[in-house]
Amino acid sequence: MRSSTLRLAMALAASVVLAGAAGTGADAAEFNLRAEATALVMPDGRSIPMWGFALDSAPGANDGPVTVPGPLLEVPPDDATLTIRLANNLPEPVSIVIPGLITSMTPVRDGDGRIRSFAAETAPGGTGVYTWPNCTPGTYIYYSGTHAAVQVQMGLYGGVKKDAAPKTAHPGVPYDRDLLLLFSEIDPALHDAVAAPGGYGPGTAMTSTINYSPNYFLINGKAFPQAAPIFAGRPGERILLRFANAGLKTRIPIVPGLYLSVLGEDGSLFPYPKEQYTVDLLSLKTVEALIAPTGKGNYAVFDRRLGLANAASSPGGMLAYLGIYPPLMVETSADAVARGETFSLDVKLSEDLTQPFDVYLVVDTPGGAFTVGLDGETRRGIRPLFRNVQGFPAPFWTTIWEQIRVPLNIVPGIYTFYVAAIEAGTVPPIATLGDLNEGTPHVIMFDAQPVEVQ
Amino acid sequence: MNARYAGPVRSAALAAAILSLGCGPAAAMIDGVIGSSFTFTAKEGSISAGDGQSIYCWGYANGNGLMQYPGPTMIVSQGSAVTVALANELPEPVSIVFPGQGPVTARGGRPGLLAREAPPGGRCEYTFTAHRPGTYIYHSGTRPELQVEMGLVGALIVRPAGFDTAKPRAYEHPGSAYEDEFLYLLTEMDPVIHEHALKGTLDRIDTTAYWPVYWFINGRNAPDTMLGAGVPWLPHQPYNCMPMGHPGDRMLFRFIGGGRDLHPLHTHGNHTLLIARDGRMLESVPGVSGPDLAVQMFTVTVAPGATYDAVFRWTGAKLGWDIYGHAPGDPMEPGEYAPDHGKPFPVVLPDAKDLAFGPQYSGSQFLGGQGLLPPGEGGFNPTAGFFYMSHSHNEKEMTNNDIFPGGMMTMVLIDRPGAMGPMMQAAEKGGN
Ligand SMILES: [Cu+2]
């Protein structure tokens, strides 16, 4: 930034109303961010005063929700320049810096020469323009470069991503889907001090952040169990995980059930990927890693430094699940149950099912029958679960949930629940259950889940 | 003094003592439970810290044995179907996760957040196939921020297919060959949490206020790390960590981050060649090239949950003097660094009356050398080996509750060819 005021003047002169997230179609991605106070409610009910960013559809529109972390800024592959127009609704000056993206910066100094802001400040109530003219592919963190010891902790951070080409993170690194996993922490003492009438700083109860001691631990702004499993992709897909750490402590994300191909860090590729199930995620670092899970399920990702509590209560903290779901899926809450016990059965259907279809649920039993409440008793064989479903709008998948009690008189063994989506109004030619699979005529999608009855 | 290499110990009493300890295999192997079917019991017990403090812990016992910290080191063969049956005698549900193994199927018990759990008084069972060789970790997946701290953590070693104890390899590739292997499972403890667990005031534990003051290698603080494995006065801490080898030996160090903090593990005497992380060799073409991306490390940053395989190979290279005090025409010793053969020791040692002696000084600066010592000095180094410290380079972690030295520290002993430190033999004998 040579001069934010000059840029602002130019921007105002142009008076172009820009869509928030969309590029202009030329070579510049432009985002309208607003810094504003908000609050996050922790799982234990504690409300934490935060500062966050909102993405507005136009400068001054004030129409985006304030979130922590701030909105993910997606720079289109052809856009060389990233521009952020910042509106400041906070009581102190703020700015935006993005380590790893090169731009000229104008630090602001206090009267005694000490740097107060790494980049030109946007005054309270004012607006500023920040530009990165040579935006290179990668994953980055943006955050406030002003009074950073306080403002970053208060929540003024978010992710930036830019791909080399559509669905290609870097040249030669294609992916099917991607997901940002942004780790951060909260020490409520700071937030309470900033929000208190006396505020924070010299002469107040809290004069510095030297005793920083976080006790809430967030992934994408949520502490367990606030987040439902995050849909990450389909079995067999290449899924790019974009890890980022906006906190002040080193985190070691671990995915115990998968190996990650760790591609690089800070937006740059390693010469060779590294196969690891842990990731070294130091403060303000970003790490890109590919996973390619073949099996469906919810894969836990958590902080192996064990930030897994919400203050003194446990479980909590940095624990999330990566949902790897086929477009049609049957899941059970247990893979082994005793007779007399209850378990739940979920059938999940995704928007990938665009044509009319029927869903069939079949149970392969070694002996004895289950009662699946939707349609009475289920025996070995095939029966419709429900019919003429017309595909699903958002949310991504729809769940049909069943609570099933295992009869006491049932024969122990493996019971397999088969679910098939079948072209609407057709009957698959099935003589035996073994015929039911993805290749069966009229079957669009198919899934199975075994449960052991003990 | 500058005495020439004085030859091996001639003391009949000491020789007899060494012989009485029996002869182990040629290569030092990590202590543990070898097999594919394991039965663990989660139970309580108290360990002894390096300062003598007793710390109440939870740990995995082998079968119905004593609670041990860390849990039994599982040693399995690549491709084997591994079953771990877990019984729980603790007041909280417990479980086991096996990072890097998968898929793990579980039966019994009840669902948990990371794995099925054995409720108090209950059981559950885990099964997985050990597809790939390497160094791995296991630990509780139930409230791990509390239960790992309490001690529910251990090591898993998967031997490559075709493993040959005479020519051991960490992975299939010859680039992972070694002569001796040693485990460094690194953990920490905050005794305040353990006191609450002992008193039953679990609800008063705040794991976010965790402040460790004890640092462990294989469940022991220095100086206990250097005692033999299985010594009777540490019944809950059966594993030691005192690597011993000979010049030129490839000593495989299996580092595991078992606790919550990162530890910069530093070796004296030489760098370690890092060949693998998280059970995967550092290789440019996975499964093909071998550890061609291995790097020499002054300090290996051991992150929690992660594992590292590093080869420590000491020859005395580039010391600039002959470690045996050879004359140029003398025969070479196995593993000797040839360019320094016959080079004289470059300084004249002060007279004995001007020296302070450590207990590990043999009276000679030469490997395997013996010299005159004043009465009452020495005696802790009967084979006249070289001792090199290895420790956390976060020096604060070399303490036991604020008392230095201690903590995450041990010694690596390099013995002259043919000699074997008495503690190494004890360790081999003590392995179960
Ligand atoms: Cu040192």
pLDDT tens for B291-338 read 999 999 999 999 999 999 999 999 999 999 999 999 999 999 999 999
pLDDT beyond 50 at A334: yes
Average pLDDT over residues A124-135: 96
pLDDT band for position B233 (50/70/90)?
very high
pLDDT the model gives residue A430:
62
Tokens in use for A145? 């470069």
pLDDT digit string (tens) for B82-110? 999 999 999 999 999 999 998 999 988 98
By the CB < 8 Å criterion, does B278 face chain A?
A: yes
Structural domain containing residue B336 = 2-23+318-428
- The CA B399 to ligand 1 mean position distance, Å, reads 13
Residue with tokens 């790490």: A287
Whether residues A454 and B107 touch (CB distance < 8 A) is answered with yes
pLDDT beyond 60 at A15: no
pLDDT the model gives residue B420:
72
By the CB < 8 Å criterion, does B282 face chain A?
A: yes
Tokens in use for A236? 């067999």
Whether residues B303 and A278 touch (CB distance < 8 A) is answered with yes
Q: Which residues contact A267 (CB under 8 A, 6 or more apart)?
A: A100, A101, A136, A137, A138, A139, A140, A286
pLDDT the model gives residue A412:
83
Q: Which residues contact B369 (CB under 8 A, 6 or more apart)?
A: B3, B4, B5, B6, B324, B325, B362, B363, B384
pLDDT digit string (tens) for A216-248? 999 999 999 998 889 899 999 999 999 999 999
Q: Please report residues of B whose CB lies closer than 8 A to that of A276.
A: 277-278, 280, 306
- The CA B413 to ligand 1 mean position distance, Å, reads 15
Residue B354 lies in a domain: yes
pLDDT beyond 60 at B262: yes
Average pLDDT over residues B146-162: 98
Give CA separation, B233 vs A383, A430, B68, B110, B237, in Å: 67, 69, 13, 37, 9
* Cβ atoms of residues B366 and B324 within 8 Å: yes
Tokens in use for A353? 């099912």
By the CB < 8 Å criterion, does B103 face chain A?
A: yes
Q: Please report residues of A whose CB lies closer than 8 A to that of B305.
A: 252, 254, 277-278, 304
Tokens in use for A223? 């502490």
Residue B147 lies in a domain: no
Residue A28 pairs in a beta bridge with: A81
pLDDT the model gives residue B102:
82
By the CB < 8 Å criterion, does A130 face chain B?
A: no
pLDDT beyond 70 at B77: yes
Q: Give percent of chain A above pLDDT 70.
A: 81
- The CA B267 to ligand 1 mean position distance, Å, reads 7
φ, ψ of residue B280 to 5 degrees: the values are: -130, 130
pLDDT beyond 80 at B354: yes
DSSP conformation class of B47: E
- Residue, of A167 and A21, whose pLDDT is higher: A167
pLDDT the model gives residue A368:
56
CATH code assigned to A328-453 = 2.60.40.3880
pLDDT digit string (tens) for B108-142? 898 899 999 999 999 999 999 999 999 999 999 99
Tokens in use for B324? 């045996």
By the CB < 8 Å criterion, does B192 face chain A?
A: no
Q: Do domains A1-325 and A328-453 have the same CATH topology?
A: yes
pLDDT the model gives residue B79:
97
**Chain A, window 318-347: residues with a beta carbon less than 8 angstroms from a chain B beta carbon:** 319, 333-336
pLDDT digit string (tens) for A95-106? 999 999 999 999
Residue B64 lies in a domain: no
Region of poorest pLDDT, from A36-50, B111-125, B272-286, B363-377:
B363-377
A275, A315, A334: residue with CB nearest B280 = A275
Structural domains counted in chain B: 1
Which residue from A minimizes the CA distance to B99? A256
By the CB < 8 Å criterion, does B280 face chain A?
A: yes
- The CA B360 to ligand 1 mean position distance, Å, reads 17
Residue B125 lies in a domain: no
What are the DSSP calls for A386-416, one per residue? Answer: EEEE----SSSEEEEEEEEEPPTTSPPEEEE
pLDDT digit string (tens) for A160-205? 999 999 999 999 999 999 999 999 999 999 999 999 988 898 899 8
- Residue, of A312 and A3, whose pLDDT is higher: A312
- Residue, of B163 and B7, whose pLDDT is higher: B163
Residue B324 lies in a domain: yes
pTM comes to 0.89
Residue with tokens 């985006």: A64
**Chain A, window 210-239: residues with a beta carbon less than 8 angstroms from a chain B beta carbon:** 213-215
Determine whether domain A1-325 maps to CATH 1.20.1560.10. no
pLDDT the model gives residue B419:
83
Domain definitions of chain A by residue range? 1-325, 328-453
Q: Please report residues of A whose CB lies closer than 8 A to that of B97.
A: 256
Closest-CA residue to B68 (of B35, B33, B97): B33
Which residue from B minimizes the CA distance to A214? B208
pLDDT beyond 90 at A420: no
pLDDT the model gives residue A451:
85
ipTM value: 0.91
φ, ψ of residue A5 to 5 degrees: the values are: -70, -40
Tokens in use for B318? 């580039």
pLDDT beyond 80 at A371: no
Closest-CA residue to B33 (of B76, B66, B95): B76
pLDDT digit string (tens) for A55-89? 999 999 999 999 999 999 999 999 999 999 999 99
Residue B38 pairs in a beta bridge with: B84
- In the three-class reduction of DSSP (H, G, I as helix; E, B as strand; rest coil), residue A303 is classed as strand
Å from A16 to nearest chain B CA? 49
pLDDT the model gives residue B278:
98
pLDDT band for position A342 (50/70/90)?
confident
Whether residues A304 and B97 touch (CB distance < 8 A) is answered with no
Q: Using CA atoms, how far apart are residues B93 and B136, in angstroms rounded to an integer?
A: 23
